[in-house]
Amino acid sequence: MSGNTATISVTIRHGDTGWDHYADGWAVLAPDGTQLGYRKLLHPHETEQPFTRSLSGVVIPDGIDHILIRASDNVTGMAQDTYRVNLR
């Protein structure tokens, strides 16, 4: 697969309340919704808000001018909203 490999860092603010409700990951998406990577979050961050985590080795296909970030939590799943990141 051609493309560029990137490390993506994402800062999340979520109302984590402990193990019952916390941000549990985020996805890197191509403009067409294809998932390029996923960062699983393994524990709540109720005392660390906002928090930043990175994902290495994300292959960004040639010709893509932006990516989308979509967060998820362990109660509602993937958020409907995305955050656009322009690459050029």
Query: Would you place residue 2 in the very low, low, confident or very high pLDDT band (cuts 50, 70, 90)?
Result: low
At 66, phi and psi to the nearest 5?
Answer: -155, 160
Enclosing domain of residue 70: 4-86
Task: Give the pLDDT confidence of 23-81 residue by residue, as tens digits.
Answer: 999 999 999 999 999 999 999 998 999 999 999 999 999 999 999 999 999 999 999 99
DSSP string, 15-68: ---BTTB-EEEEEEE-TTS-EEEEEE--S--TTS-SEEEEEEEEEE-TT--EEE
Looking at residue 56, which CATH number applies to its domain?
A: 2.60.40
- pLDDT at residue 35 in the model: 98
Structural domain tally of the chain? 1
